[in-house]
């Protein structure tokens, strides 16, 4: 790979094909084929009934091998995806099972195969796809499946941003007082102390520090002081999946944010955020307020991120100037640089 490719990571760097990527929320995929764009390539996602009352999640490059028509314009017929142009049918593995224009005795061409990804998975209400055998691991978020938590998904956001820059932004705590002055930014957030633990193509980051907990009802009631302690744990898995767990020490609650970025093409990404809270006492109104608040925070970030003209992330550490507060984002660059330069076996 060229020096320029290792220095700046674009949304469509070929090395990203060897990784897991979010491509949809689980709730978005049904027996109606859905197009999803990833790394500059269109895919079709669909659930194919298996005849037992269940279904198989399937994905293919959005191109029929016959006349290259988009398979997303097709439909589900029994347990097959039928192309909307000439009716060719494909099973969940991509094998062509029927060509209407042929006699039953005619041989199905050996190249009549819908191209499937190397891997597809469903986890925590999300669908993930790896175009080529993935070097990375899927992010594990135990709280996402914990019944003690309430779960709220923000509507996916499409934005003209860099995927690497969005993950860099999520890991960066020093921007809080400036970008998020109207929401979570405080002078204290300029001086967070944290530790970084590397985990393969990923890392966990930990911090414990004081903060003004304006969201705590106990503050207004005079039960607890405004200045409290919280423990942060960032869990990152390359290339563009991360979660943040926030434990409120005095208020005894936990807030977990999942954050995934789908690099659609060089100019555009789709962003997914989910909130998990165990301190809302089952109150749907409070959950809706939390979702709205998190959307406001994402919008604050996008106001800045969408102003970048170069949407590539520098992964050569000599390209930018770094300070102590950048330890987490420096490690992010190292991880992505190693992913990009990892030799193909």
Burial-class residue 53 by CB neighbours within 10 Å (0-12, 13-18, 19+): exposed
CA quadruple 306, 307, 310, 311: dihedral, nearest 10: -20
- Residue 298's domain is classified under what CATH number? 3.90.380.10
Same domain assignment for residues 200 and 113: no
DSSP 113: B
Owning domain of residue 335: 142-341
Same domain assignment for residues 155 and 78: no
The whole-model pTM stands at 0.93
Greatest CA separation found in the chain?
A: 81
pLDDT for the residue numbered 181: 84
Same domain assignment for residues 41 and 92: yes
Average pLDDT over residues 87-98: 97
Same domain assignment for residues 244 and 326: yes
Q: Is 203 part of any domain?
A: yes
Distance CA(99)–CA(105), nearest Å, equals: 11
Same domain assignment for residues 147 and 260: yes
CA distances from 48 to 100, 106, 119, 125 (A): 20, 26, 16, 18
Please write the tens of the pLDDT for every residue from 271-322.
999 999 999 999 999 999 999 999 999 999 999 999 999 999 999 999 999 9
- Split into its structural domains, the chain has a count of 2
Average pLDDT over residues 241-258: 94
Distance CA(21)–CA(138), nearest Å, equals: 9
- Residue 75's domain is classified under what CATH number? 2.102.10.10
Q: Could you tell me which residue, 220 or 84, shows the higher pLDDT?
A: 84
Same domain assignment for residues 108 and 152: no
Structure confidence at residue 216 as a pLDDT band (50, 70, 90) = confident
Average pLDDT of the chain to the nearest whole number: 93
Contact 64, 85 (CB under 8 A): yes
Q: Is 288 part of any domain?
A: yes
Please write the tens of the pLDDT for every residue from 15-60.
999 999 999 999 999 999 999 999 999 999 999 998 788 999 999 9
Same domain assignment for residues 150 and 282: yes
Q: Is 59 part of any domain?
A: yes
Cα torsion 173, 331, 208, 243: sign: positive
């Amino acid at each position: 790979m060229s020096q320029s490719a290792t220095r700046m990571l674009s949304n469509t760097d070929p090395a990203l094909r060897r990784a897991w990527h979010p491509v949809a929320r689980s709730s978005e995929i049904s027996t109606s084929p859905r197009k999803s764009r990833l790394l500059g390539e269109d895919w079709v996602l669909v659930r194919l009934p298996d005849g037992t009352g269940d279904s198989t999640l399937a994905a293919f490059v959005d191109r029929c091998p016959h006349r290259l028509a988009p398979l997303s314009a097709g439909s589900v017929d029994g347990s097959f995806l039928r192309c909307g142009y000439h009716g060719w049918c494909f099973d969940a593995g991509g094998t062509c099972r029927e060509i209407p224009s042929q006699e039953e005795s005619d041989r199905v061409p050996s190249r009549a195969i819908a191209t499937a990804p190397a891997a597809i998975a469903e986890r925590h209400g999300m669908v993930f796809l790896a175009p080529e055998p993935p070097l990375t691991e899927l992010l594990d978020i135990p709280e996402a499946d914990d019944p003690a938590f309430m779960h709220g998904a923000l509507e996916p956001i499409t934005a003209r941003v860099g995927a690497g820059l969005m993950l860099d932004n999520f890991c960066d705590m020093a921007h809080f007082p400036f970008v998020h002055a109207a929401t979570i930014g405080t002078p204290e957030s300029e001086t967070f102390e944290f530790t970084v633990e590397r985990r393969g193509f990923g890392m966990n980051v930990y911090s414990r520090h004081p903060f003004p907990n304006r969201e705590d009802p106990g503050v207004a009631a005079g039960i607890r002081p405004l200045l409290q302690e919280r423990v942060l744990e960032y869990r990152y898995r390359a290339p563009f999946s991360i979660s943040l767990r926030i434990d409120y020490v005095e208020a005894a609650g936990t807030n977990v944010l999942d954050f995934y970025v789908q690099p659609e093409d060089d100019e555009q990404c789709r962003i997914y955020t989910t909130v998990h809270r165990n301190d809302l006492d089952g109150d749907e109104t409070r959950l809706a307020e939390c979702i709205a608040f998190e959307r406001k925070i994402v919008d604050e970030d996008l106001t800045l991120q969408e102003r970048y003209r170069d949407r590539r992330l520098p992964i050569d550490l000599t390209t930018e100037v770094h300070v102590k507060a950048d330890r987490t984002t420096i490690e992010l660059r190292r991880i992505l640089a190693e992913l990009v330069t990892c030799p193909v076996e």
